[in-house]
Structure 1
């Protein structure tokens, strides 16, 4: 039914825009965007650079023996929170006249709003995924080769299981090339038969190896620096920096490497998995002897502590960088929903402007119109303000390189 004598309002447009971003985006629904109650009660809205909190589910802890909590205090089972800085503001610009405002809402959505939100959604996806990949140390696949068998994706799922990621809400965001290769090799794998339609999101293209698969056009490409030949400078190192020597060449943020003799451990028992621990470089490193920033921190497991590794690296232990020096490879990403957290904060409508900020399932979108009296124009912008994702449980994610 047409909007007779009723122009489209900013409220109507903002609500539809927020709903589209939530329902049709392929990344935002897959990460943790829960927030503290007071976050949504900020009546004046947030500005770029503000800090907000998002909720983090607790990690259950087990104890041995009959004594409650091993004689100590049981950890809180309440959700904790992490501070995020909402410093990413993206918008799409529109110009529509009184004539367009008289359109039926459904017609306006298809002609103007959906194309605009598709562009905005794609840009947001690229920013989120690029940051998520840079914070993910675990990786499977072969550098420079499109994964075209089930084995690679099973390995990705196994990586999540190895670090006790919950079995539900596991997602794979993969390239069109990877999608084509896997579908070609397994013609019956991806289909929309009624018997499996209820098992995954309508935006997913299929389900396999406990993963919902989403075709993704915004996957990042990681470029390794020229770094090579590095070794550990001194035994017994711990923490989030690693002293290195011998090697040459830059190490770029997001580069993955292993250290000889340093293995990952079971998160509960602390027993070595027999697999070398993956580390990721967290800040660009110019090269040569010095201190490289890494994640996770080197925390050796002991009789009183379940750490991240079986032991500190030995002096002169060889460092092996994943991939080829000075080359690039696209990064698919597999992760459990609570591996990452972000926040989409409500923006205020500025003075002398007309607009509305709508929030759907924690995702806020502002629609705001302002006039250009000098040129007799009316401009409308649709904005989102959000934080780069924090790695809440980075081991519950894994790259699938290609």
Structure 2
């Protein structure tokens, strides 16, 4: 849930000013049910199976954890802030420093920032630490490839970082019609709006894809913290980025297309997102080359993304069952016996859902 930002009042200092409160909401679908299952004959259990938990339960848990993590990495498609150079690998402090700068400019709290990096980027950055005159950091980098906290990020190496393929960007996209902005009250339930574009190659499929990031000429980002009174927000010296929030965008016979985007284009008030509404025929610039594939490393505040798991019902008919929760996630394990095959059957399962509840608190690191 997100509440409307209020602006601080100071004149006169002693007079209380009542301000409206508007609450948006975010739905989280608990729609991913995954499991790992296996069976052993009672003969195997009698003669050859040892260290059951270490050899079988732990690997099953690891498989489920990797699966859940992979789904979380797919949330990059809902994040519009994106820094770095496509088709390169982040390899220095400067890479994470650029993300930290963007987060600070977007008023993201400095504590509890995390960075999930590809193994290549993680170890390239670690390599730069080995040359520093900082004994602990250099030793950790040499001995175990650890980065630790760098540029304000608690860094993690992940094998589940997703890659993104840019749309065809066929021809030269432009805004189709001026004043395509909206109000917070109209977008607070979804965080998105539609934008009409033109200038694409006629009847072209996949001109844009979900997760594509673009800017609009003349539409600048603003400091999300409200200014004093009615003065509005401070305009930042770079264009606001938007992300495509529909699976595939195709152009019609006239080269036009309607695309769902985030954030919504809000030009005033506490939830203002841009300096001004886009003008008719304003140029659209999509990040990355046409059809280019890039890994999407995720840097985020801990409140940006939410993982929700729900304890599964415990079946009455099985011989043995258990459910464990740790730091939120809940996993169920059940065991039963098949008399026909003289085998013990084990099933480990999790029911979960991911959502980017505050996508403005996250940044994609390109490369």
Measured against the shorter chain, the TM-score band is 0.7 to 0.9
Residue of structure 1 equivalent to 2:283: 318
From the superposition, tell whether residues 256 and 57 of structure 1 become closer, same or farther in structure 2 (CA, over 3 Å): closer
Q: How large is the Cα RMSD of the aligned pairs?
A: 3.1
Question: Which stretch of the first structure deviates more once superposed, 337-346 or 362-371?
Answer: 362-371
Q: How does 1:63-212 map to 2 (within 5 A)?
A: 63-65=8-10, 66=13, 70-72=17-19, 75=21, 82-96=26-40, 107-130=51-74, 132-187=75-130, 193=136, 205-212=147-154
Q: How does 1:327-346 map to 2 (within 5 A)?
A: 327-346=292-311
Question: Which stretch of the first structure deviates more once superposed, 158-167 or 256-265?
Answer: 158-167
Which SS does the other structure have where 1:218 is aligned?
coil
2:266 to 296, 299, 307: 299
Residue 400, structure 1, aligned to residue 342, structure 2: no
Following superposition, the deviation at residue 68 of structure 1 comes to 5.7
From the superposition, tell whether residues 189 and 362 of structure 1 become closer, same or farther in structure 2 (CA, over 3 Å): farther
The question of whether the paired residues in 2 share the 8 Å contact of 1:146 and 1:177 is answered with yes
From the superposition, tell whether residues 80 and 237 of structure 1 become closer, same or farther in structure 2 (CA, over 3 Å): closer
Which SS does the other structure have where 1:368 is aligned?
strand
In structure 2, the gaps of 5 or more residues are: 183-192, 228-232
Residue of structure 2 equivalent to 1:222: 164
The question of whether the paired residues in 1 share the 8 Å contact of 2:41 and 2:342 is answered with no
Following superposition, the deviation at residue 210 of structure 1 comes to 0.3
The question of whether the paired residues in 2 share the 8 Å contact of 1:281 and 1:292 is answered with yes
Following superposition, the deviation at residue 71 of structure 1 comes to 3.1
Following superposition, the deviation at residue 94 of structure 1 comes to 2.8
In structure 1, the gaps of 5 or more residues are: 1-55
CA distance in 2, matches of 1:192, 1:377: 55
The question of whether the paired residues in 1 share the 8 Å contact of 2:216 and 2:284 is answered with yes
CA distance in 1, matches of 2:87, 2:178: 34
Question: Which stretch of the first structure deviates more once superposed, 379-388 or 209-218?
Answer: 379-388
CA distance in 2, matches of 1:357, 1:102: 26
The question of whether the paired residues in 2 share the 8 Å contact of 1:191 and 1:205 is answered with no
Following superposition, the deviation at residue 95 of structure 1 comes to 2.5
From the superposition, tell whether residues 139 and 69 of structure 1 become closer, same or farther in structure 2 (CA, over 3 Å): farther
Q: TM-score, normalised by structure 1?
A: 0.75
From the superposition, tell whether residues 196 and 185 of structure 1 become closer, same or farther in structure 2 (CA, over 3 Å): closer
CA distance in 2, matches of 1:63, 1:137: 27
Following superposition, the deviation at residue 362 of structure 1 comes to 1.9
Following superposition, the deviation at residue 122 of structure 1 comes to 1.1
Residue of structure 1 equivalent to 2:200: 247
1:140-179: CA deviation from partner (whole Å, max 9, x where unpaired)? 1111111112212101111111111111110000011111
Residue of structure 2 equivalent to 1:285: 249
Which SS does the other structure have where 2:312 is aligned?
coil
CA distance in 1, matches of 2:214, 2:16: 37
